[in-house]
Amino acid sequence: MQSDLFRALLITGPPGVGKTTLVRRICSKLGEKGHSLQGFYTEEVREAGNGQRIGFDVVTLSGERGVLARSINVGETDKRRPKVGKYWVYVQDFEDLALPQLEIKDDGEKPGLLVIDEVGKMEMFSKRFETTVDNLLEKKLIPLVITIPEKSSLRLVEQLRKSPKSMLFQVTKSNRDSLAKKIADLITKSMLVTK
């Protein structure tokens, strides 16, 4: 049975505070309990040797990996790709990997929880992604765990924040370690995740 208390658990905090790490810990704790999870998270990609960040990948909960963004080289232009800061966004690669993770099949084998890390500027270049998340919120089929930027004027982020069916968790360096257990327990106790 699904809880009527909330539809989406939102995780926010400043860049680099550990939102993705928290999501991975929550998934690990729920997976250990045998809960069915589906979705993706984003991960920094660093250059071997100097450790400099060169982009971001999207990684499914089953371990498939694809490109989300890569650094723009000086003087490089690519009219096919949007950019955020110093990164080109690979919209098609993102859609090819992430969107199938957000599909709910009608074969009776629904996951108990969908994980979306994150709804941010890069991901929102995909109108298909935005529509998919809107549909998931509207249809209310499966509860969601979603990371969102701490400061954002994106329409979908604002919609998630303002929804009476959303519960927001602010991640800080002091609470990030304890939040994984707290959120995983809340999901389990609220029967948001079904086996």
| Least reliable range by pLDDT among 29-33, 104-108, 130-134, 181-185 | 104-108
Identify the H or E element spanning 116.
strand 113-116
SS3 25: helix
Instruction: Give the pLDDT confidence of 36-58 residue by residue, as tens digits.
Output: 899 999 999 999 889 899 999 99
pLDDT at 3 over 70: no
| Least reliable range by pLDDT among 36-50, 102-116, 137-151 | 102-116
Residue 34: its pLDDT value, please?
A: 84
CATH number for region 8-193: 3.40.50.300
Angle (CA) 177-182-187 rounded to 5° is 135
Residue 4: its pLDDT value, please?
A: 52
Average pLDDT over the chain, rounded to an integer:
88
What secondary structure does DSSP assign to 47-62, as a single string? -TTT--EEEEEEEETT
SS3 103: coil
CA-based nearest residue to 19, from 143, 134, 146:
146
- β-bridge partners, 58: 42, 66
Q: Where are the domains of the chain?
A: 8-193
